[in-house]
C-alpha cells in the first residue's frame, strides 16, 4: 500500500472512506436481515468528496469528470454522457474518415466548424491521381 504525504488530501481520503463505511452499514440489526447493499453509486461518492474538500481559495477539486450536482437526477445509476463531447467526437470521426478518403466531396461533407479551420491545421490535400491523363 502507499501513503499520502499531503495532509489535506489525506484528510479528504480518510473522511470519504469513513463516510463510505458508515453509509454501508446495515440499517437494522435483525437476526434475519441480510443487511444493506455496500455498493454506493459514483454520484454518492462524488458528493462525499465535494463535501470533504476544503472550500478555500487556491484549493481545487481535481479528478472528478463533472460536479455531482450537474448530473441529471434520473441518471443516478447510468453514466452521464455530455452531448457536446459526443458531438465533438462525431465530428472528429467524420473528419478522420474524410481525411482518409481525401476527396473534395468528402471535404464538403465535413462539419462546417472543421471546414473553417485553417488549412495548415487540417493538413488536408486532395489525393493525386497516379495515372497520367
Give the integer Cα–Cα distance in Å for 52 and 37.
Answer: 23
Grouping H, G, I as helix, E, B as strand and the rest as coil, residue 50 is helix
* 25-77 residue pLDDT tens: 665 555 554 444 556 677 777 777 777 766 666 555 555 444 445 545 554 55
Whole-model pTM: value is: 0.29
* 67-124 residue pLDDT tens: 445 545 554 555 666 777 777 777 777 777 766 776 666 566 666 666 565 555 545 4
Phi, psi torsion values for 54, nearest 5 degrees: -60, 140
- Look up residue 92 and give its three cell numbers: 472528429
Q: Is the pLDDT of residue 3 over 60?
A: yes
Residue 20: CB partners within 8 Å, gap ≥ 6?
A: 40, 45, 48
Phi, psi torsion values for 46, nearest 5 degrees: -60, -40
Q: Is the pLDDT of residue 20 over 60?
A: yes
Amino acid at each position: 500500500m502507499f501513503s499520502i504525504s499531503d495532509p489535506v488530501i489525506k484528510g479528504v481520503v480518510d473522511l470519504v472512506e469513513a463516510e463510505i463505511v458508515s453509509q454501508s452499514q446495515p440499517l437494522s440489526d435483525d437476526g434475519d436481515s441480510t443487511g444493506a447493499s455496500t455498493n454506493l453509486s459514483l454520484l454518492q461518492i462524488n458528493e462525499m468528496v465535494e463535501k470533504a474538500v476544503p472550500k478555500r481559495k487556491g484549493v481545487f477539486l481535481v479528478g472528478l469528470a463533472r460536479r455531482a450536482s450537474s448530473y441529471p437526477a434520473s441518471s443516478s445509476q447510468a453514466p452521464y454522457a455530455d452531448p457536446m463531447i459526443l458531438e465533438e467526437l462525431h465530428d472528429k470521426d467524420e473528419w478522420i474518415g474524410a481525411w482518409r478518403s481525401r476527396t473534395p466531396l468528402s471535404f464538403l461533407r465535413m462539419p462546417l466548424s472543421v471546414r473553417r479551420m485553417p488549412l495548415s491545421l487540417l493538413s488536408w490535400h486532395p489525393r493525386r491521381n497516379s495515372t497520367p491523363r
